[in-house]
Structure 1
Amino acid sequence: MQSPAEDSTTHAPTRDCDVLVIGGGPAGSTASTFLARRGWRVAMLEKDAHPRFHIGESLLPMNLPILERMGALDKVAAIGVRKSGADFPADGGGYNVFRFERALDARCDHAFQVRRSDFDRVLFEHAAGEGVDARQQLRVVSVEPLACGGSLVSAIGPDGPCSWRARYVVDASGRDAFLGGKRRIKRRNTRHQSAALFSHFEGVERREGVDAGNVSIYRHAHGWIWMIPLPDGVTSVGAVCYPDYMKTRRGDSEGFLMRTLRTVPEVAQRMAAATRCADVHATGNYAYECTEMAGKGWVLVGDAYCFVDPMFSSGVFLGMHGAEQAAGMVDAALREPAREAALQQALRRHIDAGTDEFKWFIYRFTSPAMRHLFANPRNVLQVEDAVVAMLAGDVFDNPRVRRRLRVFRALYAVTSLAMLPRALRNGLRRRRQSRVDFSGETLQAEES
């Protein structure tokens, strides 16, 4: 790293690097680690200080090969709860477990549930150990192109402003979507609008035996609920809700969350002895995407490019997979600049194709047909094994999985036609209930 120089405009110290990564979460640390291992000078700027609270605690089995290639798998295993599968309610009571060991062409038979405060800190520190100039409490405020090529990235922190001249910028700023906002390319996903309320609880009843680390997914009348076992007896519990239902909220967020959870009898039973041990958090405008992924000298990775409803715990995996692939693209583009546009186009096709596999299921998950298929799984033509592979994250490079997921789509279409009258009745009922609370009292919608 060259010695700092003075920026003539801001009088702030200006440093040089090959790649500047905005954001020190999983995607930023992953991209930084792989680029540093390829010999590039990498600076990573995180606006907060680790550890900090974050949602998205459930990893997928396909995270594990990435962590192994990073050299961080043992560190993550030491802070995680082993996750053998995901479970969903079964018709007639109980639940069905989709165990990862049954995935078509299974590569890993488990994943981990992690506190994101610990997980993000571990990966950030690991990146620093790999030679990344990893800095905290530095908020990027601008990225400006330089006449000589590259970008001037300006940031501000406790000691005032500072800046970097970077040949390439990787935006891993998460839901801040820094470049997406600055370039006005961030768009709401109109096919899936929702919001979420969530917190951490002690004393939540867990599954028995090997299923104790499962992520549990439930449907409620206006969305869905997650339960994620974390270390030290803590469980992450949250409710994703449709906008019309969120407008009925009155009083405090905790009361609204608890009332929503109690509408599902098994969730209420598992939380009968639970006590909250963290603040209740809320987030809206859940799903969005950017109309561009990359341009000359910059690329978006993870949530900075696209955020989908985390129904199948895909968020961290998509971020880390995209970051690893983007690191390969940036490495090649820096070595052969003439290939940059083609490399970026190939990266976007790859990321969009895999993400679309998750989106297809997410858009339909609360439908009666999908409820029926998940509650009554059948492994016809290895379709169930392919669905488990999707839940494990194997949606990018396995043609056998993707072909069988097309068979599942056909089964879904046939089931949907058979259940169409029921679907129409459920839609009408949901709209009527969206303005009624749990005691039957009509609520007044809040202003949007």
Structure 2
Amino acid sequence: MPLDASSTESLSGSELRTCDVLIIGGGPAGSTAAAILAAKGRSVVLIEKDRHPRFHIGESLLPQNLRVFDTLGIRERVAAIGVYKPGARFVSDEHGKHVTFNFAQGLNQAYTYSYQVKRADLDALLFARARELGAETREGMRVTDVQLDSARGHRILATDAEGEQHAWHARFVIDASGRDTFLAAHMQVKQRNPHNNTAAMFAHFRNVAPFAEAEDGNITIHLFEHGWFWMIPLPGDVMSVGCVSNQGFFKRRTGEIDDFLAATIAATPSMARRMANAERMTPTTMTGNYSYASKTMTGDGWLMAGDAFAFVDPVFSSGVLLAMASAEMGAEAVDTWLDDRAAAVPQMRAFEHKVRRAIGSLSWLIYKINDPTLRDMFMEPRNRFRMREGLVSLLAGDVHSNTNRQLPVIAFKACYYGLKVARWFGYRPGAKGMERISRAA
């Protein structure tokens, strides 16, 4: 299926190289898929439009990332560039309190911690690992056209920084282009998520006060009336600070984005206390239209992995995990496809089902983060029916094991809807009221 039939002539005019798999995008998803497939002996070409290291947001990893790092043989390397992360803290000025969810208190005891990392360092490490394992890696090269044809082989055209064109003939194409959504955009199958039309502004700072007496490595989520802030401790005493809210809130901005971020921080007491002596190290960056998904994820000889398929709000730090886990599953399916297309059909189907289910499990929480009922539950966590443990498992990224169907998660959701009904009748329970409803859940 040609994406741009007019480019056929330019493709045939370039020297045509061959490979088993060509991967668009050298971020966590692309590098993970490339490393796994190259380790299996496949000829893999990994093309990245930028050059590593390059700045990227998404710096807070989840415990389930460790499993993929183990698969790639790089857990110790990640530890060397990261800050130990035992859990996540939620702070609410409205409730006048905070609560910490330690990953060690979750249902899955195999992985009980993670790391906070500078994405420039992590992405460079993953890209280098793919090259170590045998992938042909290209940086500073942008894919400009793909002609999908599984019968005769896909043809891919790319242009390097000097303007020279390069062409490949690949048996399989993996789109790991991130928010560029190369295939979804060209196929016109990308859909914005109407339930979560948010935007974010963020920067790196020095001299940020720890939440308590000393920095403990937790990511801290500060809730405020219009959204939430993240505070992620990074190596070198750097703090990543970001604010996520709806489009209406950002339309209030009249001046520079740096000033708007500073004013929003100053208006949130728990943030203002920590940021009183902070020094901004980077310009403030803003990005919008956070949530989207493609109508389709796989086809004959191609698939999308990570953000190239879908992205959800970053409140629970799920982006890198979903990218790497989907790339890992996708790579296994591709390896089967290269040997036996018929045998790969159920594997491809299972791959797409698991990725969609994982996104759905997290989305249930994400779309409700600004809901007063869910905020009440976060600030008054109960563990009847092991609800708190189930919540911690979701926060830890344990979504591919179908945690969504486990009793603790079901009980948590039942409690939420019970409290929601109570609010409809004008009742906002405190700790005792929540305990009564959780008993009935």
TM-score norm. by structure 2 comes to: 0.91
1:368, 1:423 within 8 Å by CA — same for their partners in 2?
A: no
AA aligned opposite 2:13: H
Distance 1:146 1:17 in 2: 14
Within the candidate set 142, 152, 155, 1:152 is matched to 155
- 2:23 is equivalent to residue 21 of structure 1: yes
AA aligned opposite 2:29: A
1:89, 1:96 within 8 Å by CA — same for their partners in 2?
A: yes
Which ranges of structure 1 fall in alignment gaps of 5 or more residues? 1-6, 425-448
User: Deviations along 1:129-157, whole A, 9 cap, x unmatched?
Assistant: 11010110110011103485220011000
> What pairs up with 1:341-352 in 2 under 5 angstroms?
341-352=345-356
Distance 1:408 1:336 in 2: 43
State the partner residue of 2:106. Answer: 103
Within the candidate set 256, 271, 289, 1:285 is matched to 289
Within the candidate set 374, 381, 394, 1:377 is matched to 381
1:170, 1:299 within 8 Å by CA — same for their partners in 2?
A: yes
Identify the range of structure 1 (394-403 vs 39-48) with the bigger mean alpha-carbon deviation.
394-403
1:84, 1:211 within 8 Å by CA — same for their partners in 2?
A: no
> Per-residue deviation at 1:10?
5.4
Distance 1:147 1:378 in 2: 52
Within the candidate set 226, 236, 250, 1:232 is matched to 236
- Please state whether the residue corresponding to 1:62 is helix, strand or coil: helix
> What pairs up with 1:177-196 in 2 under 5 angstroms?
177-196=181-200
State the partner residue of 2:77. Answer: 75
State the partner residue of 2:432. Answer: none
User: Deviations along 1:109-140, whole A, 9 cap, x unmatched?
Assistant: 21000000111001101110110101101100
AA aligned opposite 1:137: G
Within the candidate set 229, 246, 249, 2:250 is matched to 246
User: Deviations along 1:234-253, whole A, 9 cap, x unmatched?
Assistant: 00001111011111111100
Distance 1:92 1:247 in 2: 27
Q: 1:123 to 1:251 in 2, by over 3 A?
A: same
- Please state whether the residue corresponding to 1:204 is helix, strand or coil: coil
State the partner residue of 1:47. Answer: 49
State the partner residue of 1:134. Answer: 137
1:289, 1:306 within 8 Å by CA — same for their partners in 2?
A: yes
2:179, 2:308 within 8 Å by CA — same for their partners in 1?
A: yes
Which ranges of structure 2 fall in alignment gaps of 5 or more residues? 1-8, 429-441
State the partner residue of 1:363. Answer: 367
Identify the range of structure 1 (329-338 vs 394-403) with the bigger mean alpha-carbon deviation.
394-403
> Per-residue deviation at 1:14?
1.9
User: Deviations along 1:327-376, whole A, 9 cap, x unmatched?
Assistant: 01101111111234432221111111111110000111111111100001
- Please state whether the residue corresponding to 1:78 is helix, strand or coil: helix
State the partner residue of 1:62. Answer: 64
Distance 2:335 2:213 in 1: 45
Within the candidate set 327, 332, 335, 1:328 is matched to 332
Identify the range of structure 1 (220-229 vs 84-93) with the bigger mean alpha-carbon deviation.
84-93
> Per-residue deviation at 1:182?
0.6
- Please state whether the residue corresponding to 2:357 is helix, strand or coil: helix
State the partner residue of 2:306. Answer: 302
Within the candidate set 207, 212, 218, 2:216 is matched to 212
User: Deviations along 1:234-281, whole A, 9 cap, x unmatched?
Assistant: 000011110111111111001111111222101110001101001211
- Please state whether the residue corresponding to 1:88 is helix, strand or coil: strand
AA aligned opposite 2:324: M
Distance 2:10 2:58 in 1: 42
TM-score norm. by structure 1 comes to: 0.90
1:104, 1:401 within 8 Å by CA — same for their partners in 2?
A: no
> Per-residue deviation at 1:398?
4.8
2:84, 2:116 within 8 Å by CA — same for their partners in 1?
A: yes
State the partner residue of 1:276. Answer: 280
Within the candidate set 171, 174, 178, 2:175 is matched to 171
- 2:115 is equivalent to residue 93 of structure 1: no
1:207, 1:214 within 8 Å by CA — same for their partners in 2?
A: no
Q: CA RMSD in A?
A: 1.9
- Please state whether the residue corresponding to 2:316 is helix, strand or coil: coil
> Per-residue deviation at 1:209?
7.3
Q: 1:128 to 1:210 in 2, by over 3 A?
A: farther
State the partner residue of 1:112. Answer: 115
1:368, 1:419 within 8 Å by CA — same for their partners in 2?
A: no
- 2:204 is equivalent to residue 200 of structure 1: yes
> Per-residue deviation at 1:34?
0.7
Moved over 6 A (4+): 421-424
User: Deviations along 1:293-349, whole A, 9 cap, x unmatched?
Assistant: 010110000000000001000000000000000001101111111234432221111
2:18, 2:169 within 8 Å by CA — same for their partners in 1?
A: yes
- Please state whether the residue corresponding to 2:108 is helix, strand or coil: coil
